[in-house]
Structure 1
Amino acid sequence: MARHRHHEGAGPSQRQLRVGELIRRTLSDVLNRGDIHDPELNAMSITVGEVQTSPDLKVAVAYVLPLGGQGREEALEALRRNKHELRRAVSKAVTLKYSPELRFRIDETFDRLDDTRRLFSEEKVRRDVEAPDE
């Protein structure tokens, strides 16, 4: 009998993490190689930062960011327009009972990293950080 984790607050299972990483790697490879038959998508350089899967592995959310953070809406539009072809590429590479539905979101973690870097570069903050303990 399989044990299911139903309690709230439980993070993703090892299987979800493993499958998410496989899908992330596959999407990255497919986008880097320009395997999709869409010149507009192939002209973009898109980073796939993370892929999170639902517990049943039927939905995979890919967190992406175009190079330099420019053209976010265009990148999302191009990915969504090609999601069936991307899904086929994923299902060829990742053996699952069901090919997951792909959803795309902008990866905001890069923005937060930039904000943090900017914060640390401010003179007052740098002085506080570098100040020896009194």
Structure 2
Amino acid sequence: MSKNHSSSGRGPTQRQLRVGELIRRTLSDVLVRGDVHDPDLARVSVTVGEVRCSNDLKVATVYVAPLGGGDAEGLIKALARNKGELRHVVAKNLTLKFAPDLRFRIDETFDRMDETRRLFANETVQRDIAQPDDDSPSDDDLGA
């Protein structure tokens, strides 16, 4: 008997995570080998950072970035042009009931990491980090 409740507010299921990782590996291998016959994709090395699957596994959002920076918008357009061929490869390599629709997005994770590092390097933040918290227990409170 299935449960009739939505999974809103929860994270992805183990199946979504597993299928997303399999799609990520498959796409990474295809793009590294250059199996897609598009000169725009052949000129750039692509990093497939993450794949997020919908609840029903029919839509896979693929987060990509050009290795070493570059024209991310051009990369997204080239991948979108070749979506059918990439979807076919994914369907051939995975044993799913439906081949997921691939949607490509720019992976901004690395940009956010750089921004976080920049914030932590700020001297005001460094000063705040170096100050002891008033709420944290001292060595005397811990019995040391």
Q: TM-score, normalised by structure 1?
A: 0.90
User: Which residue of structure 1 lines up, in the alignment, with residue 82 of structure 2?
Assistant: 82
User: Relative to structure 1, is the Cα distance of residues 69 and 12 closer, same or farther in structure 2, using a 3 angstrom cutoff?
Assistant: same
- 1:103 partner SS: strand
User: Which residue of structure 2 lines up, in the alignment, with residue 133 of structure 1?
Assistant: 132
Structure 1 position 122, deviation (Å)? 2.8
Any gaps of 5 or more consecutive residues in structure 2?
134-144
User: Which residue of structure 1 lines up, in the alignment, with residue 138 of structure 2?
Assistant: none
> Which digits, 9 at most, give the CA deviation of each residue in 1:83-115, with x for residues without a partner?
111101111111100100100001122111010
User: Which residue of structure 2 lines up, in the alignment, with residue 48 of structure 1?
Assistant: 48
Q: Kindly name which structure, 1 or 2, has the bigger radius of gyration based on alpha carbons.
A: 2
User: Which residue of structure 2 lines up, in the alignment, with residue 94 of structure 1?
Assistant: 94
User: Relative to structure 1, is the Cα distance of residues 86 and 4 closer, same or farther in structure 2, using a 3 angstrom cutoff?
Assistant: farther
Q: Counterparts of 1:22 and 1:5 in 2: how far apart (Å)?
A: 27
Give me the identity figure in percent.
Answer: 63
Paired letter, 1:133: P
User: Which residue of structure 1 lines up, in the alignment, with residue 39 of structure 2?
Assistant: 39
- 1:51 partner SS: strand
Aligned pairs, how many?
Answer: 133
User: Which residue of structure 1 lines up, in the alignment, with residue 58 of structure 2?
Assistant: 58
Any gaps of 5 or more consecutive residues in structure 1?
none
Q: Counterparts of 2:5 and 2:17 in 1: how far apart (Å)?
A: 15
Question: Normalized per residue, which structure has more helix?
Answer: 1
Paired letter, 1:121: A
Q: Counterparts of 1:13 and 1:22 in 2: how far apart (Å)?
A: 14
- 2:68 partner SS: helix
Q: Counterparts of 1:118 and 1:110 in 2: how far apart (Å)?
A: 12
Q: TM-score, normalised by structure 2?
A: 0.84
